[in-house]
């Protein structure tokens, strides 16, 4: 019940215009027609260091955040059809289980294998008390973890293990750490998880390894965007979510890329493709720049 100039309104709540959920102008410039150009650019990419065959990208994030879907979506863009290779390949039985074996995942376009390798590491869980997960992730970034290693929640990999590489070469190392964050649930991210991310961030940024956030499920987080993906940069909700990602994860907004993954579609769509390609282009670019920086150490 509110008191207005007109007196006391009894039955109906006071009329308040709903704030417009949409901005007048996009807050980030985005060219929706650049799909083919981005695709070509990525197909022709090669690492600026001739000693490096491919750009290794480590993908981390909570179980269910959309890591496998993101890798599948990239694959789908280049295949021109919906792919589910990452789901089949990296999950060890139950796709929601912790115990995943680390394995490189390459992307192909036609017959060409692109020079990017994705490694999907196990889900970060706030509940795990020990630091084993953070240690494992840090070790994986620095190239100490061999393919085939099964992450173990209770115990971090030690140098005695057969899957431990004590003297990794540049090619064993990851050039970028990608956190996959669910836009729909980012506000509920546990503080314990944030603390873990802080430790990881500190250790790896000391070594010049860049970090990027891919914010998934924008369609679930915002009804406007669900209806029209092109509203992604005019949606106030999405902007808010990205800012939240930035403060929680400690990654600047410029390193956060919102995407909608393929999850129930049966055909690829240009607008979904172009957002995925843009995220990949930026990841690859940032990783490659970091690689150059590291050589000058
Ligand atoms: N609506 C929507 N669902 C998604 C998106 N990305 C992933 N999902 C769904 O979220 C669930 C978890 O995804 P998954 O890739 O297996 O997560 P992972 O555990 O991080 O590998 C699956 O049911 C996906 O279909 C997205 O962008 N939008
Ligand atoms: Mg997965």
Distance between CA atoms of residues 246 and 213, nearest Å: 8
92: number of Cβ within 10 Å: 14
State the ligand closest to the CA atom of 60: 1
The alpha carbon of 262 and the centre of ligand 2 are apart by a number of angstroms equal to: 14
Counting atoms of ligand 1 from 1, which one is nearest the CA of 72? 15
The alpha carbon of 122 and the centre of ligand 1 are apart by a number of angstroms equal to: 15
Chain center to CA of 60: 7
Judge contact between 235 and 19, C-beta under 8 A.
Answer: no
Structure tokens at 241: 């979510």
- Of 59, 66, 262, the residue with max ligand 1 atoms within 8 A of its CB, to mutate for a pocket test, comes to 66
Q: Which residue in this structure is represented by tokens 């840090």?
A: 138
Q: Which residue in this structure is represented by tokens 């994030």?
A: 61
CA 6 → CA 1, 2, 11, 12, 14, distances in Å?
13, 10, 14, 13, 11
**pLDDT at site 19:** 87
In eight-state DSSP terms, residue 139 is: H
Distance between CA atoms of residues 210 and 25, nearest Å: 30
- The protein residue whose alpha carbon is closest to atom 13 in ligand 1 is 66
Ligand 1 contact, 64 CB (< 6 A): yes
State the ligand closest to the CA atom of 222: 1
List the single range of 2-6, 38-42, 155-159 with lowest mean pLDDT: 2-6
**pLDDT at site 199:** 87
What is the pTM assigned to this prediction?
0.88
| Residue 128 pLDDT greater than 70, yes or no | no
The alpha carbon of 221 and the centre of ligand 1 are apart by a number of angstroms equal to: 13
The alpha carbon of 217 and the centre of ligand 1 are apart by a number of angstroms equal to: 7
| Residue 40 pLDDT greater than 50, yes or no | yes
Distance between CA atoms of residues 168 and 89, nearest Å: 25
Report for 93-107, 121-135, 190-204: range of highest mean pLDDT: 190-204
| Residue 155 pLDDT greater than 90, yes or no | no
**pLDDT band for position 220 (cuts 50, 70, 90):** very high
Judge contact between 215 and 258, C-beta under 8 A.
Answer: yes
**pLDDT at site 110:** 87
The alpha carbon of 130 and the centre of ligand 1 are apart by a number of angstroms equal to: 27
- The protein residue whose alpha carbon is closest to atom 28 in ligand 1 is 217
- 3-class DSSP state of 16: coil
- Write down the H helix ranges in the chain: 35-43, 67-79, 85-90, 132-141, 191-205, 218-221, 223-227, 236-249, 270-295
**pLDDT at site 130:** 56
Average pLDDT over residues 82-87: 80
CA nearest neighbour of 172 among 213, 99, 105, 117 = 117
Provide the β-strand partners of residue 145.
164
Structure tokens at 277: 């390609």
**pLDDT at site 83:** 87
**pLDDT at site 1:** 45
Distance between CA atoms of residues 214 and 217, nearest Å: 10
């Amino acid at each position: 019940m509110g008191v207005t100039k007109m007196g006391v309104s009894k039955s109906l709540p006071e009329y308040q215009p709903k704030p417009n959920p949409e901005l007048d102008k996009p807050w980030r410039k985005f060219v929706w027609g650049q799909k083919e150009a981005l695709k070509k650019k990525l197909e022709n990419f090669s690492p600026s260091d001739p000693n490096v065959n491919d750009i290794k990208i480590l993908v981390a994030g909570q179980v269910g955040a959309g890591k496998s879907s993101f890798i599948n979506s990239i694959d789908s863009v280049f295949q021109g059809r919906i792919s589910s290779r990452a789901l089949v390949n990296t999950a060890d039985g139950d796709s929601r289980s912790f115990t995943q074996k680390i394995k490189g995942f390459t992307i192909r376009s036609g017959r060409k294998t692109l020079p990017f390798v994705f490694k999907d590491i196990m889900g970060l869980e706030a509940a795990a008390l020990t630091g084993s997960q953070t240690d494992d992730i840090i070790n994986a970034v620095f190239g100490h973890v061999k393919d085939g290693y099964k992450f173990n929640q209770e115990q971090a990999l030690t140098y005695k293990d057969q899957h431990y590489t004590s003297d990794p070469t540049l090619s064993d190392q990851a050039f970028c750490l990608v956190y996959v964050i669910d836009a729909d649930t980012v506000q509920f991210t546990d503080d314990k998880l944030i603390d873990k991310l802080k430790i990881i961030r500190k250790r790896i940024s000391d070594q010049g390894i860049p970090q990027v956030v891919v914010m998934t499920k924008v369609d679930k987080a915002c009804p406007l965007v669900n209806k029209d993906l092109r509203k992604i940069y005019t949606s106030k909700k999405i902007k808010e979510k990205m800012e939240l990602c930035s403060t929680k994860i400690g990654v600047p907004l410029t390193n956060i890329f919102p995407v909608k993954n393929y999850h129930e579609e049966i055909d690829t769509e240009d607008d979904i493709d172009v957002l995925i390609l843009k995220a990949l282009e930026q990841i690859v670019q940032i990783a490659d720049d970091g690689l150059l920086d590291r050589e000058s150490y």
